């Protein structure tokens, strides 16, 4: 078996609230085999945290029910730490990493993980980069070893740089040729301005053209330092055994030294309206504004606001603009939690002849949510939908391992799921109206029209 690249896809949003398609996120760069990891709801699990002497944090979630295991390694290395000149370098590093280690090539790595009944993947993202691996629980030790091998001993061969650059540039072009993907990229660029979140995760053709082998190695070494890494394991395992093995595999990694965080300009809502044209069958309309970071007290209220507007078929955009008025083929709302200011994005895909009316109707829905308090029934329905999807999204070992690592990396504390649930339940109609006025007071609009 050879290591298989995934074509660019529309992946799921990563944070609280459950999966929701959004074109900003990337699918993993390598998916070497597949395993299902469904866990019965309510399964008892014990979570243990330990920080190794070198600064690496290890989290182990003991789940006695499902005979599977998931390993997630998150690294503070992503778009947030990039500049336009280095755009896409984090993702580029991971494209090269999966091509082989000091002990085996990519094909051999694929065969090794397939023999465990599992998969392994690597990708660069917005606030972090990640390695994910899953397998049958009885092979947890071997799986952790393969994860450590990929993280600590990648070959990063000079000959792979040009090959991966060509592949990544083809993905960039593919994304530019895809109307929804390009619309989201253009929207974030307009919304965030000089902030790194304006940069596409894949980078640009110009930035990738400048990347050489030395830059790939330097970026890898700057990111893969123990104090910047969170290792999370969830499954039918023993915490003491996993901690001992993690210490053996990762404990020898030396600290990289504390470097100052880069100064990042704060984005400012400019209220721009951008219109672009490209060959396409549908018009794409995006309206949104800067939203609180995940750590902000209003995070839960904005999640509820997003759900009221675009949470499934009961959301206002779907019910009013698609079902009742036939102004859109697709209607949704997105609010992805990130470390810096986030974005609440309202999205419509519509026929070209309906674009003007759809945009006008969307802006009326924005004004309505700002002007009129939601009623108790609609608020209760949105909360139920939001928390239900959040619970469903955390039913697998893979997602549990990812959430535990993500919350730790974001500094959200170990009781975040319960705090988040309580915060959502406490949201009032006045809270929804207040955050709607703040987040959607000055909106950025992106309209992509077919030419």
Please give the CATH topology (third level) of the domain spanning 46-250. Cytochrome Bc1 Complex; Chain A, domain 1 (3.30.830)
Q: What torsion, rounded to 10 degrees, do the Cα atoms 272, 353, 175, 406 define?
A: 60
Q: Which two tokens stand for residue 422?
A: 């309580």
Q: Which two tokens stand for residue 55?
A: 């600064």
Strand order in the sheet with 330-335: 273-278, 444-450, 283-291, 342-350, 330-335
Q: Check whether 20 has a pLDDT greater than 80.
A: no
pLDDT, tens digit (0-9, with 9 covering 90-100), for 359-371: 999 999 999 999 9
Alpha carbon 56 to chain centroid distance? Answer: 22
Phi, psi of 258 (to 5 degrees): -75, 115
Q: Check whether 419 has a pLDDT greater than 50.
A: yes
| Residue 418 CB contacts under 8 Å (≥ 6 apart), including other chains | none
Q: Check whether 23 has a pLDDT greater than 80.
A: no
For the segment 383-409, the average pLDDT, to the nearest whole number, is 95
DSSP 45-69: -EEEEEE-TTS-EEEEEE-SSSSEE
Enumerate the β-bridge partners of residue 446. Answer: 274, 286
3-state secondary structure of 367: helix
Which class is 273-450 in CATH? alpha beta
pLDDT of residue 181: 97
For the segment 265-290, the average pLDDT, to the nearest whole number, is 93
Q: What is the mean pLDDT of the chain?
A: 90
- For 155, 278, 314, the CA distances from 106, given in Å and listed in that order, are 10, 38, 45
* Residue 65 CB burial class (10 angstroms; 0-12, 13-18, ≥19): middle
- Please, are residues 396 and 38 in contact by the beta-carbon 8 Å criterion? yes
Enumerate the β-bridge partners of residue 58. Answer: 50, 231
Nearest to 61 by CA among 242, 221, 227, 229: 242
pLDDT, tens digit (0-9, with 9 covering 90-100), for 303-312: 999 999 998 8
User: Is 273-450 in the same CATH topology as 46-250?
Assistant: yes
- Please, are residues 18 and 392 in contact by the beta-carbon 8 Å criterion? yes
Compute the distance between CA of residue 237 and CA of residue 250 in angstroms, rounded to an integer: 18
pLDDT of residue 15: 44
Q: Check whether 373 has a pLDDT greater than 70.
A: yes
Compute the distance between CA of residue 120 and CA of residue 105 in angstroms, rounded to an integer: 14
Whole-number percent of the chain with pLDDT over 70: 90
Enumerate the β-bridge partners of residue 350. Answer: 283
- For 52, 166, 295, 424, the CA distances from 419, given in Å and listed in that order, are 27, 45, 11, 9
For residue 206, the surrounding DSSP H or E stretch is helix 205-210
Q: Which two tokens stand for residue 283?
A: 């018009």
* Residue 276 CB burial class (10 angstroms; 0-12, 13-18, ≥19): middle
In the chain, count H helices and then E strands: 15, 11
Question: pTM for the complete prediction?
Answer: 0.90
Which band of pLDDT confidence, cut at 50, 70 and 90, is reported for residue 18? Answer: very low
Compute the distance between CA of residue 181 and CA of residue 202 in angstroms, rounded to an integer: 12
What are the extents of the domains in the chain?
Answer: 46-250, 273-450
For the segment 434-451, the average pLDDT, to the nearest whole number, is 97
Alpha helices in 69-177 (DSSP H): 89-97, 106-114, 140-152, 158-177
Q: Check whether 37 has a pLDDT greater than 60.
A: no
Q: What torsion, rounded to 10 degrees, do the Cα atoms 189, 190, 195, 198 define?
A: -10
């Amino acid at each position: 078996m050879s290591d298989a690249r995934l074509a660019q896809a529309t992946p799921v949003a990563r944070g609280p609230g459950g999966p929701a398609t959004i074109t900003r996120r990337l699918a993993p760069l390598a998916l070497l085999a597949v395993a299902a990891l469904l866990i019965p709801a309510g399964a008892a699990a014990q979570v243990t945290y330990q920080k190794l002497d070198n600064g690496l944090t290890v989290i182990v979630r003991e789940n006695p029910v499902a005979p599977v295991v998931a390993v997630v390694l998150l690294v503070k290395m992503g778009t947030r730490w990039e500049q336009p000149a280095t755009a896409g370098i984090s993702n580029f590093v991971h494209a090269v990493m999966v091509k082989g280690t000091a002990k085996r090539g990519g094909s051999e790595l694929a065969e090794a993980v397939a023999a465990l009944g599992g998969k392994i993947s690597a990708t660069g993202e917005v606030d972090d980069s990640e390695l994910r691996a899953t397998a049958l629980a009885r092979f947890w030790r071997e799986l952790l070893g393969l994860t450590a091998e990929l993280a600590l001993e990648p070959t990063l061969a000079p000959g792979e740089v040009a090959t991966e650059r060509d592949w990544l540039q083809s993905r960039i072009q593919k994304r530019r040729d895809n109307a929804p993907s390009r619309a989201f990229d253009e929207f974030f660029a307009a919304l965030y301005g000089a902030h790194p979140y304006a940069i596409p995760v894949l980078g640009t053709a110009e930035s990738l053209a400048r990347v050489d082998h030395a830059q790939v190695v330097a970026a890898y070494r700057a990111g893969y330092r123990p104090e910047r890494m969170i290792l999370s394991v969830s499954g039918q395992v023993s915490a003491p055994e996993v901690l001992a093995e993690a210490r053996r595999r990762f404990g020898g990694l030396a600290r990289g030294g504390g470097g100052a965080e880069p100064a990042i300009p704060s984005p400012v809502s400019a209220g721009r309206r951008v219109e672009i044209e490209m060959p396409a069958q549908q018009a794409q309309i995006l309206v949104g504004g800067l939203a609180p970071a995940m750590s902000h007290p209003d995070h839960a209220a904005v999640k509820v606001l997003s759900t009221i507007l675009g949470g499934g078929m009961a959301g206002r955009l779907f019910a009013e603009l698609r079902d009742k008025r036939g102004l859109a083929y697709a209607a949704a709302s997105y609010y992805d939690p990130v470390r810096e200011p986030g974005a609440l994005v309202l999205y419509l895909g519509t026929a070209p002849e309906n674009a003007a009316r759809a945009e006008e109707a969307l802006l009326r829905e924005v004004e309505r949510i700002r002007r009129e308090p939601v009623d108790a029934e609609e608020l209760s329905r949105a909360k139920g939908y939001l928390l239900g999807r959040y619970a469903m999204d955390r039913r697998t070992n893979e997602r549990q391992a990812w959430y535990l690592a993500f919350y730790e990396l974001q500094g959200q504390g170990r009781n975040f799921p319960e705090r988040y649930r309580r915060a959502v339940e406490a949201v009032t109609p006045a809270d929804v109206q207040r955050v709607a006025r703040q987040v959607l007071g000055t909106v950025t609009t992106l309209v992509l029209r077919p030419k």
